[in-house]
Chain A
């Protein structure tokens, strides 16, 4: 009983910390919240001189870059995970796992430097090499400057691959061997057995992707170095844009004006809220997926036993 109380108290500290962070952000941003209200989410002007602040371009930039990063990284990360868990020769596995996980250990500023000196010029070359009719499309329009949404999404994708792939690999590893064996017993090829394992592990893999998404939302340094830091809402992959984390990092230290400071804290609050929403939404999706699966496993369980 005592043990339970102590651990319970410790666990509840976490809840207090989260609530405390939210409350402090709210309190510190009071001036901006009071002045702009819900307008803050909708307006696009960010002008520290005249004291007008709107978060929309930053929210857009954060979500757009994170979604693009997920789209790019997920197939690669799952490919890596499948290869490492099902197809890789045993001798190669340890070094490959080590190398993928090493990607996660590289500080983000190093990714940023690599982005500035290698990726950004490459993206610019790529944009220049595109035929004119493609460059006329809204998704690819704009002058060729290199620092852009695409550069940011690519850097983010590389940064989150190790997270998604190593969790996806663990999940695939934990799929009961009976699943694959059963598939083989039914005459499945190796590829089909992998598909069975992937299907079985899909909630775990979804969780891995969401972890990567969460990380992409909050990444600051590497993104600000390659995204161009221009607050605008644009679909173009080649347009310079801005993210929430980047604007806080860039402007906080020199914000002498009270309202400017509060607006930056409110950006932090919005980022906190969006991260929370994303997490809750993915949890709910996971529950949904689990609930769908449960009756099935129950139905198949006796059959398995009988077999």
Chain B
């Protein structure tokens, strides 16, 4: 008798479990590590509002995100650099890009007694090319009048791992310096003319903090967290701008006027006043006509939430929220994605 009861209970529990599982929608994605903190925040907040939607995001890197969406092993991908035309052609269906937030890359340095430095794009390119090797080089002194620059060797620190941060920085240097574009190029990993490689933002931060005379580049949020000096950078309008959430959003707002329909756009060295020049979108990648229509419908609801409600979480995590004009364009673009 007791046994029968137990059995009935067990069957009941299993049945219950099955129905709950049936209602639960699990969505998987993979890609960029740079926006991973805000993506996790969004997915967990969204899960609180809609307990049946569970998004599983694997921060494997932009390259892996592009590979996996192309192979169809994930529902969505994520990348810091837009897919190239070749990569888009390699995918079995049409892939659309959706900017989610913005980030900025700042030049960080460790020069004794100097807290504030101004850089022009050419100056950064020449330093990272190894053409300027001393901190008291006349080219640096010229844009930093009144700063007491020491006779110290410059040690360049860069990312050793392929990364979106590197891509954004390369994109910028490639745009301001033809020599950089020709000699080094623009990619997630490049053949560095000079310097030391540190793994991840933390590795570069540690190298810069410990090496007198070092210069490197990290995401804005890392420089803020580690209280490390970072320089202002001259924008296309000729102003020296210190990176901040506002100056990064300004860059996006400026760019949104000329936004292409597919939303794949680089906003480094954007025109306009008050714009921080080393800024970039980061993107989610979705198929226009996904196989799994039910998941697609759920994910569209999430996307609409992310573009509106979700944006308020960006600032606290060090990202710049999307300008209103871009949100509007994306909401239009989302309508193209098939949900049935």
Contacts and interface: CB of A to CB of B under 8 A. Distances in A.
Interface residues of A, number: 34
Interface in B178-206: 184-192, 195-199, 203, 206
Contacts of B207: 147
A224 B61 CA distance: 18
A49 B199 contact: no
Interface string A199-220: 0000000000000000000000
A66 interface: no
A98 B83 CA distance: 53
B160 A246 contact: yes
Contacts of B33: 253
A253 B60 contact: yes
B169 to A, nearest CB: 14
A157 B184 CA distance: 36
B62 A228 contact: no
B273 interface: no
Chain B interface residue count: which class? 35 or more
Interface string A42-69: 0001111110100000000000000000
Given A116-B206, A145-B211, A250 B191 contact: no
A26 to B, nearest CB: 20
Q: Which of A52, A242, A254, A255 has the most CB of B within 10 A?
A: A254
Contact of A48 (B66, B153, B187): B187
A117 B206 contact: yes
Nearest to B191: A47
B210 A254 contact: no
A166 interface: no
B100 interface: no
Given A147-B207, A229-B196, A48 B190 contact: yes
Given A47-B191, A256-B87, A260-B189, A251 B161 contact: yes
B196 A228 contact: yes
A46 B63 contact: no
Contact of A228 (B162, B190, B197, B210): B197
Which DSSP category, helix, strand, loop or mixed, fits chain A's interface?
A: mixed
B196 A49 contact: no
A143 interface: yes
Contacts of B196: 145, 147, 228-230, 240
A120 interface: yes
B210 A230 contact: no
B199 A254 contact: no
B120 interface: no
A193 interface: no
B211 A47 contact: no
Given A120-B210, A246-B160, A251-B162, A46 B191 contact: yes
B67 interface: yes
Contacts of B235: none
B249 interface: no
Interface string B254-287: 0000000000000000000000000000000000
A228 to B, nearest CB: 4
B64 A254 contact: yes
A257 B161 CA distance: 15
A254 B163 contact: yes
Contacts of B161: 249-251, 253-254
A253 B199 contact: no
Nearest to A253: B61
B234 interface: no
Nearest to B61: A253
B188 A254 contact: yes
Nearest to A227: B197
Contacts of A260: 189
Given A52-B191, A116-B203, A116-B206, 4 more contacts: A49-B184, A50-B191, A146-B211, A230-B196
19 contacts: A45-B191, A47-B185, A47-B190, A47-B191, A49-B185, A52-B191, A121-B210, A145-B196, A225-B198, A225-B199, A229-B160, A229-B197, A240-B197, A250-B199, A251-B161, A254-B161, A254-B162, A256-B66, A256-B87
Interface of B: 33, 60-64, 66-67, 87, 153, 155, 160-164, 184-192, 195-199, 203, 206-207, 210-211
